[in-house]
Each structure stands twice: as structure tokens, then as C-alpha cells.
Structure 1
Amino acid sequence: MKTRLTVQALATATACAFSTAAIADDKVTLSMWHQHPEWKDRAEAILEKFEAAHPHIDIELEEIAGTNYTARLNTALAAGEAPDLFGLPAGPETVAAAEAGYLTDLTGKLDLSSLVPSAASAVDNDGKVFGVPILGSYTVGLYYHRDIMEEQGLTPPTTREELLSVCETLKERGINPLVVPASDGIVPSFMYMMSAASIMGADGFDELRAGTRKFTDPDMVKAAAFIQEIAPCLQPGALSTAYVEGKALAAMKQGAMMPGGSADFAGYQEINPEVDLGVVPFPAAEGGTPATVTGLEYIFTINSQSEHKDEALTFLQWMLGEVAQQMVVDTITMTTNKDVVPTDSRILEEFGTARASNDVRVFYELPEVGSVFGAAQNNIAALLLGDMTPEAFSELLQAEVKPSGS
């Protein structure tokens, strides 16, 4: 049977059509770049929750492999084609981008009261805020395969002597002791950072930044010497192993232990859902205490050229809140929201325990030592190969320190 559309029905339908079109026209899409492809499904689940609460805003996420991220972002910024939202390391790199005119000043535009003190401090640049930690923080320690260590009758090492002994035992039994992707120098530089932290601790780190302690102090040179001693424990071809490849090797149990951060766990699970990992602080160098290092995941900034700054601010504020941060800590990594705790995550609880006794901020977030990590990254291969002495390595790092007040 045919039906006729009455004048009133036609008017109603027309009004609805115009209303729908208006909503579509008002809808804003924010482009967003990040550098963790292994997080994409988990991150998009959080973004979908935001979009449900804010139906006029869509977030278009592009995850770019970390090895390509910086070069691609720098090119996009220079060409005026960067996304509305993008991640940067907290500290000097963010300040440099702000000084170059690439970032929107967020000072006073967001409520940051939910941040833990360390996160609030890390995004404060002499009273200015240019980015916020919406995807958590990370702590780096030593992962180990619980089943491998149990099968071999071994316990996770806590000291230099224990690590070298465990490495020797595992090698004798045909097992790679440590998986370390070292082609770009980043992971072994984190190892050095933890080795140095084991000797100086948080108080000594403050002294280093003030110029009253040095990487060239005799006890600190032992931190570099420890990394050189560890070299035989690394998997064959470590210096040509890329990060993605190394992560897959570690997840697939091609080694008993691997340095890594709390944020890496999601990636290990993506590769091997059955992976059974534990975590402890990195073993101490001679005379030290087992240590971890902690930093923020990339903080998110708003492109100064974005045409949708208000919507971007709405998004960042929501991401700082409890709904988003509960999803972050339950599915990805450690949260920076002081009111949120993991629902059920043994590995994050272990990271919390690991960093409780001796934890130091990552070097590159602080202006006095911001370029030290880069110097370590550029020279760590020579240290591992024995082409550079621990003393010479330490001198190179010390040359990069810019003590506060100097």
C-alpha cells in the first residue's frame, strides 16, 4: 500500500534533515600523532569513549613508529602540515618547539590539579605549560621471563655480581641472558641511566644537576664500566637489532631478561598474549642500590596553527580526568592522575614496588642534563664494543651537563 507524506510530515522530515546536516557541518575532526603503534587498539578505545561523550568532536589518530616519528614530525612542522595534536618529550624539546612558535601556550587553560607532583613539575617550564601527559608515565626496570627463570632455578639479579653470574649460567645452558635492541643506542643508554642512578640516587642526581657531583667521579665511572661488563650478556647481533625486532625477540622468549618500561608491557602482550613477565629494578653497579628511572610518556601539545584549539583543549582536559586515566592504567601504562589506581595489573604493581626504593627522573626531561642522553646514545656502541673506556665515556657525558645557576 502506498503512503502519502503529509505537509506536516514533510516539514518535520525537512527540518530533521537540516538539523542533521547542521550537526555534520559543526562536527570537528582533530588530527593526532603519537609514536606507539602497538598501543593503537587500546588508545582508540579511549578515544571512542571521548567521542561518545563529545559527539561533535572526532579524533583521527595516527600512530607512527618511534624510529620515524621525530623526522616526520619535524618535516610536518617545518611545512606547516603538522596535526592538531602531537606528542613531544617533556622538557627541553618541548620548550624548543614552543620557542620556535609551533606550540599553543596552555598556561592557565587546563585544570592540572589531578596530576601527581612529579608530572606537574615535569610540564612546568618556568611557569609555562605547553603540553600535558594524557597517556601516562613510565618506569624502566628489568623484565624477566618468570617461567624461564623458574625452569632454570634462577632468581632475578639485584647486583652487578648476581647479573654477571646469572648471565654466565644462562649462556652455558644455551639461553640468551639479555635481549637488548641496540641499533639506535636508546635501550643501552637507558641501561646506563639506571646504572648511574643506582650509584647516585635521587639526591645525587640533584647534586649532579647543581654541579657538585660529576659523571667523572670515580664511583660514577663504575656505572659506565658496568655497562661495558654487561656487553657479553647481550644477544648476538645486539648492535644491529632494531627496537621493534628486539621487542619481538624478547616477547617470544628468545632471551631470559630485557630492560624495558612499564609502557612496553602492552606491546609484549600484543606480540605474545601468553607472555609471563615479572619486573625488578635494574641491578646495581658496584657500590650502588638497584634502581629504576621514571619519566613521562610523550606529553601532548596543541599545534599553534590548529583551527580547532577550543576542541583540542576540551579533549586534553577530558583525557586528564578519571575516566580516561582509568583506561590508561588498566590497558596501557602508569597513570599520572593521583586519584587513579590500577584495577588489576600485577605488572604495574611490580613496577610501583620496583621504583619505591631508588628511582631517578630520566635525564632528558631536565634542562641541566637534557643533552646527556643524546651523548650516551651516540657513544654507547663504542663503550659496549670496548672501543671507548668508561672514563672517556663519562667525560663525554659530563661535558654535556649545564649545572643550574652556571
Structure 2
Amino acid sequence: MMRRRTTLLTGCTALVLALGATACGGGTVEAGGDKSLDGSTVTVAGVWSGAEQENFQKVLDAFSEKTGARTEFVATGDNVSTVVGSKIEGGNAPDVVMVPQVGVLEQFAEAGWLEPLSDTARESIEANYAGVWQDYGTVDDTLYGLYFKAAHKSTVWYDPDALAQAGVRPPTTYEEMLDAGRAVSDSGLAAFAVAGQDGWTLTDWFENVYLSQAGPEKYDALAAHDLAWTDAGVVDALTTLGELFQDDRLVAGGQKGALTTDFPGSVEKVFGPAPDAAMVYEGDFVAGVAKDQFGRTIGDDADFFPFPAVGDGPAPVVSGGDAAVVLKDGANSEAGMALIEYLAGPEAAAVWAAEGGFLSPNKRLDLAAYADDVTRAIAESLVEAGDTVRFDMSDQAPAAFGGTKGAGEWKILQDFLRDPSDPEATAAALEAAAAKAYQD
């Protein structure tokens, strides 16, 4: 169930922002840059490292240049809730946290750790973001989170030469995709590299199939566990997915090979120096690995097509993202809120968009800000999907079910990849694990 439905503002909404404003025509009115936060320090915690952290630092530097505030970034690693909780207990809470999961945002809100977003931030978000992104940042009718960075998890990446040699074009339906995969197999390569060693990739496969087949209302109900995993729609989606998993012509190395392939390895199997497969399904972040680790040129020798429609359903758009929240216990939560207000406008998003490896759900961001045509097309798809976008289901679930290695949904779908012969039994196992996790 969605937490609330926000009515988007219509017409020309005048937003007078502390750090900048979006004009009625879509242009940006520059902030005064009056160094109003001189002497303040904003501490920001998040999971990012490497290039992501470096690029986010450029956003923080632009904020500092505008306001005079100093910024410090604290890397949390993957276990954000544990790290942030320990910092709060130790009296050293950051001012802003970039939260990577809806479930963690809800946990923080229910623990009383979060400041509701300011009127300025809320008005900017309502004007610049589809209602679905507002919903995912809201708990009990209070807006706490701004989704600054998004992921598009409905992209299938491929080697154009491999498809051309097989005489196939990027497909538009799931059945066409399997047929194209079989043609690729006949030409000498496996169709897909499946990263079964990482259970989270299998949840993404399931979510795309389920969203297309069952529709957004059932997707929302299943995500909230208002619908049992033994529902016929879940069994149908597992059956559809099992078609692919059990076909050794389609999966590089077969089921055993998939279970020993992690996510970076799956990208290497397609775009590395000795390819084993023509296609790899995962989010837009595949492009960064293909480019940075294997020297591929995105749009030339590495490209994507949208995850295709399954059966009579529409093509799915599954997303993920990082939400900026302000902690009550931060030493400078007022300056932290000013940072959120800055991040809510297109100016901040444009800084990272120019660097690559970034998508924004902000519909006021000029697509020309993105550095290449492929990223531009993915970003356009995300924004145009509007309220039909659905957040990664496993990221909405309790971690014991949707986010723990070797347990819950990850483990059960790995078992299903190993033996996809009994979708009903898999659905029953998923329901038993979900019931326990949601009860706890």
C-alpha cells in the first residue's frame, strides 16, 4: 500500500527558495550566493564510495560555494541503519543521511530520528517530482525524504555486435527477448549472464516480471505484504522467470554457472575481454562497470533496451534510489535542512548529471545536463514513467526478508534458480519467510 498520494501542484507555482528557485518556464533562478551559512558545517552520511562519493562531493562543493557552509562526508558502508544508530547513541549524529532503502527511511522515522522536511523543501519536491517519489519519502502523512539520486532497474544491456551477428534486434516483448536469446545461442554465445551469486539481482528479475504481469496495484500490495506471496500472480511470475532460468541455452554456464557469478562478473561475461554472453540484465549502473572496468563506449559497443513487456502487461519501470533525510540529533540540522532544499532543485542534480553515473527523478532537470545520449534516454524514461514507477520491492521489505545475504528472498530465489521446477513451493517458502519478517 502506498503511504499517501500527494496531489501535484499545477500551473505556475512560485517557489521562493532559500538557495535558489525554479522559474515558471522551467529555467533556474540563481540563488544570491550570500554565504548565509558561513561558519556552519554540515555532516552527510551515506553508502557512496569511489567515483560516486567523488561526484557527490562536487555537489556538496557547489552547495558550499553558494552558502559558505563547510561539508563533511562520512561513508557508512552498506549497513546504514546500524552505523547511524550507533552515531546517534554516541552523541555524534550526522546532520543529513542519504538513505538507500524505503524500509530504512521508515525505520528512522518510526524511531523518531527524523525532522519533517521544511515547507520550502516540500513545495520544491511537490513541484519537481512525480507523486510516487513523494510517497516513498513519506511516513504517516509526513514528508521526511528527498529522493536525490535514482536508479533505473528496468534496463537490459547488450553487446550490439553479438545481437547483429545473431541477426536479431533489441526485443520489445519478453517472448521476443527469449527468442532473441535462443538465436544468440545458436550463433555461439549464451544469451544472458545471470548474477545468481548475488541474491539481490534475482529479486530485481522477479520484480520486473511481476510488475509487468500483475500490475502496479498488486505490486504495491505485495510490497506491503497486504497480499500473500502464495497469490497466483506470484506463481505466474515465478513460472515465467523459470522459463529462462532452466534453459541452458539462455544462461551462461547454466544454473550452476549463474549461481557462481556475482554482479561484476555478470557484466564481465558480456563486456569483458573474453565474452561468454550477449546480454546482462540489471540497472543503469551496468554502464559504469562496462565503461570504467572494461573500456566499453556506451551507445557504441555497449547499449541497452528497456526491460520488455511480459504477456499483455505494460513494460515495467522498477527503480531504486537514495533519499536525503535530516536527523533531529545532528549538531547543525538547520544547515542540513538548507542542504536538502538545495538538493531538491535542478541545479544540484545538474552538477552530478554532468559527471555521469547519475539519474535524477527531478522532472525540472534539463536532459541536456546528462553527459551522453544513452544516460539521457534512460533518465527520460524514468521521468516520463511518472507515477507508474515502482520502487525496488525488496528495498521496501524488512531487511530479514528482502536484504540479507543467505536468507529470506535472496536465498529462496537462489534456490529457485538452482531448481525452478516447482514455482508453487517457492511461493510458499517466500510467504513463510515474509510472514516471519513482517511480524518481527
1:100-249 maps to which residues of 2 (within 5 A)?
100-106=111-117, 108=119, 110-111=121-122, 112-113=125-126, 114-205=128-219, 215-231=229-245, 232=248, 233-236=250-253, 237-249=257-269
Per the TM alignment, residue 131 of structure 1 is displaced from its structure 2 partner at its CA by: 2.2
Q: Give a deviation string over 1:148-175, Cα, whole Å, max 9, x none.
A: 3223322223444333333333334442
Q: Is the 8 A contact 2:203 2:394 kept in 1?
A: no
Identity in percent: 19
Q: 2:318 aligns with which of 294, 306, 317?
A: 294
Q: Is the 8 A contact 1:278 1:350 kept in 2?
A: no
Per the TM alignment, residue 71 of structure 1 is displaced from its structure 2 partner at its CA by: 5.9
Per the TM alignment, residue 289 of structure 1 is displaced from its structure 2 partner at its CA by: 3.3
RMSD of Structure 2 on Structure 1 (CA): 3.7
Q: 1:324 aligns with which of 329, 348, 355?
A: 348
Q: Give a deviation string over 1:253-282, Cα, whole Å, max 9, x none.
A: 733212222344344433335244333332
Per the TM alignment, residue 391 of structure 1 is displaced from its structure 2 partner at its CA by: 0.9
Mark the runs of 5 or more structure 2 residues left unpaired by the alignment: 1-35
Q: Give a deviation string over 1:336-390, Cα, whole Å, max 9, x none.
A: 22222310543245434487597544324657x9986454323111000007721
SS of 1:279's equivalent in the other structure is strand
Corresponding residue for residue 342 of structure 1: 367
Aligned length: 376
Q: Is the 8 A contact 2:165 2:187 kept in 1?
A: no
Corresponding residue for residue 56 of structure 2: 43
Q: 2:292 aligns with which of 270, 285, 290?
A: 270
SS of 1:256's equivalent in the other structure is strand
Q: Is the 8 A contact 2:45 2:97 kept in 1?
A: yes
Matching residue's letter, 1:60: E
Q: Give a deviation string over 1:94-126, Cα, whole Å, max 9, x none.
A: 121222344334364633333222211211212
Corresponding residue for residue 13 of structure 1: none
Matching residue's letter, 1:282: F
Change (3 A) 1:387 1:322: closer
Corresponding residue for residue 258 of structure 1: 280
Corresponding residue for residue 9 of structure 1: none
Change (3 A) 1:98 1:121: closer
Corresponding residue for residue 105 of structure 2: 94
Matching residue's letter, 1:104: E
Corresponding residue for residue 8 of structure 2: none
Mark the runs of 5 or more structure 1 residues left unpaired by the alignment: 1-22
Corresponding residue for residue 11 of structure 1: none
Q: Is the 8 A contact 2:259 2:418 kept in 1?
A: no
SS of 1:338's equivalent in the other structure is coil
CA distance in 1, matches of 2:429, 2:88: 31
CA distance in 2, matches of 1:322, 1:169: 44
Q: 1:380 aligns with which of 408, 413, 429?
A: 413
Matching residue's letter, 2:103: P
CA distance in 2, matches of 1:248, 1:71: 32
CA distance in 1, matches of 2:193, 2:353: 26
Q: Is the 8 A contact 1:38 1:270 kept in 2?
A: no
Matching residue's letter, 1:319: L
**Whose radius of gyration is greater, 1 or 2?**
1
Instruction: Normalising by structure 1, report the TM-score.
Output: 0.77
Q: Is the 8 A contact 2:210 2:219 kept in 1?
A: no
Q: 1:33 aligns with which of 11, 29, 46?
A: 46
Corresponding residue for residue 8 of structure 1: none
Change (3 A) 1:212 1:64: closer
| 1:391 is aligned to 2:424 | yes
Per the TM alignment, residue 306 of structure 1 is displaced from its structure 2 partner at its CA by: 1.4
CA distance in 2, matches of 1:75, 1:239: 35
CA distance in 1, matches of 2:166, 2:147: 40
Change (3 A) 1:77 1:259: farther
Matching residue's letter, 2:206: Y
Per the TM alignment, residue 250 of structure 1 is displaced from its structure 2 partner at its CA by: 4.6
Matching residue's letter, 1:323: E
Q: Is the 8 A contact 1:137 1:297 kept in 2?
A: yes
Change (3 A) 1:150 1:187: same
Q: Which moved more, 1:167-176 or 1:375-384?
A: 167-176
CA distance in 2, matches of 1:80, 1:147: 56
CA distance in 2, matches of 1:384, 1:94: 31
CA distance in 2, matches of 1:87, 1:245: 27
CA distance in 1, matches of 2:85, 2:264: 22
Change (3 A) 1:63 1:154: farther
